[in-house]
Amino acid sequence: MESTVTVRGQTAIPVTIRKRYNIQPQTKLEWIDDGHTITVLPIPSDSIATLKGKVKGNSLRKALLRSRQEERTRG
């Protein structure tokens, strides 16, 4: 998928991406620049609720590291 940046620096998020990641109006996005690529991540309004159920039976540290790795490989 692609989008075009306007002269004001704005772009539209494709509808399939908005639906998949539940990006609604007022959703905050985090822009990560590693010097080679740019990654855009939606910031959940309730981080704890987002993680609920993902750590069952695992240590919180391992779950956090796995979640961060998944975020890095997305995109």
Q: What are the pLDDT digits (tens) for 43-74?
A: 887 666 666 666 566 677 787 888 888 888 87
Q: Alpha-carbon distance 58 to 10, whole Å?
A: 41
Strand residues in 1-43 grouped as ranges (E)? 28-33, 38-43
Instruction: List, for residues 2-41, the tens digit of each pLDDT value.
Output: 899 999 999 999 999 999 988 999 999 999 999 999 999 8
Q: Are 62 and 70 in contact (CB under 8 A)?
A: no
Contact 54, 67 (CB under 8 A): yes
pTM of the predicted protein model: 0.55
- The reported pLDDT for the residue numbered 3 is 92
> Any idea where the domains of the chain sit in the sequence?
28-73
Tokens, residue 6: 């306007």
Tell me the DSSP string of 49-60.
HHHTTTSTTS-H
